[in-house]
Structure 1
């Protein structure tokens, strides 16, 4: 207890020394150290550091993903197209660029300025057409406008800082565009006073929205709309023919961009829902035989395609040349036959195999349908080898007394492959009381359309490249109601394959008859090694008018 009191007394005494006689705090020093300045030393005066001038805030526009997977900007007027582009991708923009609608040079300068400041480029007419432009600038909550050339500013809100930019500004002038500029009046003329200067807020480019891609190349590529998408840091993909599936380049570009949302410039891109489905397919990056994802592309700058195929069933030479050799030899033979056609056309000639999956049978079989359905496992080696070699594959159905759709569904797992299409052979479609070879079979168009509906839905749901859908025919009676054939499925390329055999005059007559009054489809021609007299050479085959899109050999 005595020790505790002594220690407390020492601490209290020490605290009193620190506080001092007048109670003002003094600098505390360790015992034995002096707090007084040494002789000759001057006192040090501490000054407060100056308050730094705050840096101006750096602003950025905000880019938004569209609500829908595909947005088509269909306006054909450049002024309206520019507003549409801005509205589609910008949620806000502190700086906007305007240029005259009738001055291409000023628009080019404005495009560079828009990309530099990360804001949209809008076009001014000096008329009432500028009202939507004003509304868009207000919606963007803009603080400043870069006025390129003689762009009219009459419609702009008075609160905006207006910064003139020469119509022919060079790179150095554009680089300084965010510096002090002589303000302009509402009429667009510079104010006489140079002492008052307008400076746009400091900006940086907006954050990129992942998966947002712009589509161009379909006739809607106005300078302002393209510049606005570039200012939003949206990668642009040129789409020949407005179908993103048409070219290998486009498919690969959309796959690389992992496209989730697209903004397409031009009405040619068509309905937004159709475009969204096409983009979803292209974004997989999966290519069809011959490149791209279309069976028969008809787009400027993209090579057309034609196909040359062997027909038959693996392991059975009696059913066609396809089965006369093993799988590797079949692939090599198909490639060799196709090579003979390549010097005859500017189109890409794609080798193919048409594989009979269900074979018309003289016996009813266990299921009583007079059709022998080959197991998927028996067909898979040839189908997969063909796909790996770049060949197109078509599965052919000869259904007997059952219907085409029932048989098609048996081969769903093969039809889910991106290079496999489907063929229907009505010659072998029987009524419940019929047998093969007692008559020529036939099918109603409604049954054909039901298969087309199912195949199109399968293709769309699996985001597969377009599929070839072949309808064999050598007599008008074989397809009842053919004029009502549904050719509207974007996922399918329909071919009517003319199977006539015999003399060439007879075959040409069948060709002309079947083409008369036909729906809008592609056309196929078959050469028979044994039944034709004579069989046409490749040169003669491509002299058929019109040139067949698909040639098969049986």
Structure 2
């Protein structure tokens, strides 16, 4: 169950303290937290002047008509029935929709090493091959598999920083490096945000130049969204639906303006209190909302958390996280993960 994660706090804190000493970072970890320690991110540097290369587009897939629409969208369904133009932007492996068209298999982490997650175990070019191999394990469960990298674009900090928001964004040059690899290997790149005492939307907007890319989606991490006076690593954070809806509305505008394929908007959760008014999350055309279950522990504890979160199913997607070193009793197999209900649309490894 969800509460089963909390008794591991002391051992986890000790492990984090050791990691801080090695990395020279200053941060903490929540009770039952699902992310590792947060290294100080590099000072943002000017974006390279080189022109971004767009990869060849795979063949077009017919778009599906999705139920996740605002009231305004429902008033004009004919727009959704029209096929995209032949030269319209496509997802990395073709098509315009993700949920129901692909199962996403991602590695999560930051660029500063493995302390933040498995994505940092090696340079992005090497990790792309690791992710592709992992994704192949989930073939044969009814959908093509779309490999992905979930890159932490803003990292919660134990110190206030110059803006007193307890969060630091990574350099656009680093994001470009991962995006170039994503293009070469036909991966999704999901930018993850840990806002500290700030709001999600301003941090997402800092990466606007990348959000016009069909390969780029967004994830939000309420665990690391703090109320005034709270410090990351000392409490489990939370987010109101309104903060998440502002991001959804913003992304929907980008998708509409640039005629992009759908983008994922993933929201991480492992306690009910992290999203106290989850029922107020809105749905926007072109934005596919995924509620993503985090939390490490035994297989029984993880399944218990997933059930207690009670994800509603369509039009929302469901996600499930596996911890390569922290899950106990052996890593759940693809068959065990696919036996969950609702069946996960996104499987993430940390």
* TM-score under structure 1 length normalisation: 0.49
The equivalent residue for 1:248 is: 60
Question: Which whole-Å deviations, capped at 9, do the CAs of 1:338-382 have from their partners, x for residues lacking one?
Answer: 01111x313101111101000111111111111111021121111
- Does structure 1 conserve the Cα–Cα contact (< 8 Å) formed by 2:294 and 2:321? yes
Q: Distance in 2 between matches of 1:312 and 1:470?
A: 15
Which consecutive unaligned segments of at least 5 residues does structure 1 have?
1-246, 252-269, 298-303
The equivalent residue for 1:338 is: 135
From 525, 535, 551, the equivalent of 2:320 is: 525
- Does structure 2 conserve the Cα–Cα contact (< 8 Å) formed by 1:430 and 1:436? yes
- Does structure 1 conserve the Cα–Cα contact (< 8 Å) formed by 2:88 and 2:259? no
The equivalent residue for 1:324 is: 121
Is 1:549 aligned to 2:345, yes or no? yes
- Does structure 1 conserve the Cα–Cα contact (< 8 Å) formed by 2:266 and 2:290? yes
The equivalent residue for 1:312 is: 109
Q: Distance in 2 between matches of 1:537 and 1:352?
A: 19
Q: Distance in 2 between matches of 1:289 and 1:345?
A: 20
Q: Distance in 1 between matches of 2:234 and 2:254?
A: 35
Question: Which whole-Å deviations, capped at 9, do the CAs of 1:299-352 have from their partners, x for residues lacking one?
Answer: xxxxx310110110123211111111112101111111101111x313101111
Looking at both structures, which has the greater relative contact order when contacts are Cα pairs under 8 Å and sequence separation is at least 6?
Answer: 2
Is the alpha carbon distance of 1:518 and 1:445 closer, same or farther for their aligned partners in structure 2, counting shifts above 3 Å? farther
Which SS does the other structure have where 1:551 is aligned?
strand
The equivalent residue for 1:410 is: 206
Which SS does the other structure have where 1:430 is aligned?
coil
Give 1:264-413 correspondences, 5 Å limit.
273-276=76-79, 279=82, 282-297=85-100, 304-342=101-139, 344-413=140-209
The equivalent residue for 1:445 is: 241
Q: Distance in 1 between matches of 2:82 and 2:123?
A: 39
Q: Distance in 2 between matches of 1:443 and 1:280?
A: 36
Across the aligned residues of Structure 1 and Structure 2, the Cα RMSD in angstroms comes to: 2.1
Is the alpha carbon distance of 1:428 and 1:455 closer, same or farther for their aligned partners in structure 2, counting shifts above 3 Å? same
Q: Distance in 2 between matches of 1:280 and 1:462?
A: 16
Is 1:491 aligned to 2:286, yes or no? yes
The equivalent residue for 1:538 is: 334
Q: Distance in 2 between matches of 1:375 and 1:441?
A: 25
Which SS does the other structure have where 1:443 is aligned?
coil
Is 1:478 aligned to 2:296, yes or no? no
Which SS does the other structure have where 2:301 is aligned?
helix
Is the alpha carbon distance of 1:250 and 1:508 closer, same or farther for their aligned partners in structure 2, counting shifts above 3 Å? closer
* Farther-moved stretch of structure 1 (346-355 vs 384-393): 384-393
Question: Which whole-Å deviations, capped at 9, do the CAs of 1:370-410 have from their partners, x for residues lacking one?
Answer: 11110211211112211231111110000001100010100
- Does structure 2 conserve the Cα–Cα contact (< 8 Å) formed by 1:395 and 1:422? yes
Give 1:140-219 correspondences, 5 Å limit.
none
The structure whose Rg is larger is 1
Q: Distance in 2 between matches of 1:372 and 1:280?
A: 41
* Structure 1 residue 444, shift from structure 2 partner: 0.5
The equivalent residue for 1:513 is: 308
- Does structure 1 conserve the Cα–Cα contact (< 8 Å) formed by 2:313 and 2:342? no
Is the alpha carbon distance of 1:331 and 1:278 closer, same or farther for their aligned partners in structure 2, counting shifts above 3 Å? farther
* TM-score under structure 2 length normalisation: 0.76
Which consecutive unaligned segments of at least 5 residues does structure 2 have?
1-58, 64-72
Q: Distance in 1 between matches of 2:194 and 2:327?
A: 22
Is the alpha carbon distance of 1:495 and 1:250 closer, same or farther for their aligned partners in structure 2, counting shifts above 3 Å? closer
